[in-house]
Amino acid sequence: MIKKFSNKTAVVTGGTRGIGKAISLRLAQQGARVFALYGRNRKTAEEFSIQAKENNLDIVAIRGDLTKEANFKSVIDELSSKTDAIDILVHSAASGVHKESYELSERHMKWTFDINVFAIHNLIRELCIRMSPGSKIVGITSSGGTRVIPYYAAVGASKGAMESLFRHYAAELAPKGINVNMVCPGLVLTDAVDAFPDKEERLDKVLKATPSGKLCTPEDVASVVEFLCSAESAQIVGQTIVIDGGKTLSS
C-alpha cells in the first residue's frame, strides 16, 4: 500500500508534545520523514523519539528555541544538513502568558509574540525557498484569535496576528503552488490546558456549549492537518478549518 506522504519531508514545530506530537505521528505513519522541532523539554522529546523508533517511524527530534537567534540558526543548519527540500511545514508550537489584559507587561506580550508569530514568520522565510509546487504550510490557531477568552489576551492577540500573517503568505505563495491554511481546534485536552487558572470551570462550560458533547482531541487535529497536507486539498488556499464539535455555531 502506497502511503500518501512517501518520499515527503515534513517539519513540525512543537512536534514532540500534545497536538504537535499527534501531527508528527500521523504524517510519519503516512510515510513522511518528520523533523519534530521542540524548545525545552528534552526528556519528553527523547521518550517520543524512542516511541517513534519502536514503531518504525522516521521522526527526528531537533531541539532549538526558535526565538533565540543562535538557536534558530542551529536548527536551520541541522535541517540543511539532513534534507535539501521541505514538502510540509506545520506550526503547532505555542506558548504565552495567561493573565487578564491589564496585568500583561510588555515582556509578557513580547514573549508570547516571539513564540507564536515571529518564530514561524522567520521559519517560513527560511524554508519556503526549499518548497516546490505542491508543498503545504499549515498553522494551528485558536478561537481566541477572533473571540474573547478569559486570561487569553496575550495568546489571543498573537493568534490573531498569526492568522493575518498566514493569509498574506497564502496569497503570496499560492502562485508558486504552495498552499497555506490554518486549523482552529476547539479546546483540546493537552498539557497547555493546565496553565489556565480556571481549568475545571472552563472544561465544564465548553462541554455544555458543544453540540457533539465531546472535546477535540490531538488526533482530531492531526486528521485535518493530514488532509490539508495531501494532494486532495489543492484548491483550499488561505482558509481556517474549524473543528470544535459545533461550539461556535452559537454565540
Task: Compute CA 134 distance to the chain's CA centroid, rounded to the nearest angstrom.
Answer: 19
248 lies in some domain = no
Residue 54: the pLDDT is 95
Residue 41: the pLDDT is 83
Catalytic one among 38, 151, 152, 169? 152
Catalytic one among 8, 21, 159, 247? 159
Residue 88: the pLDDT is 98
Could you tell me where the beta strands, DSSP code E, fall in the chain?
9-13, 33-38, 59-63, 88-91, 136-140, 179-185, 240-243
Task: Please state, in angstroms and rounded to a whole number, the distance separating the CA atoms of residues 153 and 110.
Answer: 13
Please count the other Cβ atoms lying within 10 Å of the Cβ belonging to residue 127. 17
Exposed / middle / buried, residue 75 (Cβ in 10 Å: 0-12, 13-18, 19+): buried
209 lies in some domain = yes
Residue 62: the pLDDT is 96
What CATH number does the domain containing 92 carry? 3.40.50.720
Contacts (Cβ under 8 Å, ≥6 apart) of 234:
134, 179
Residues 118/162, Cβ–Cβ less than 8 Å = no
* Number of structural domains found in the chain: 1
Residues 108/154, Cβ–Cβ less than 8 Å = yes
4 lies in some domain = no
Residue 193: the pLDDT is 65
Residue 191: the pLDDT is 67
Residue 186: the pLDDT is 87
Is 152 marked active-site? yes
73 lies in some domain = yes
Block means of pLDDT (10 residues each) for the chain, 251 residues, are 92 96 97 95 92 95 93 96 96 91 95 95 96 98 88 94 98 98 89 66 85 92 98 96 91 60
154 lies in some domain = yes
Please count the other Cβ atoms lying within 10 Å of the Cβ belonging to residue 231. 8
- Positive/negative CA dihedral, 192, 224, 79, 125: negative
Domain residues for the domain of 73 are 9-242
2 lies in some domain = no
Helix (DSSP H) and strand (DSSP E) numbers for the chain: 8, 7
251 lies in some domain = no
93 lies in some domain = yes
Is 159 marked active-site? yes
Residue 204: the pLDDT is 84
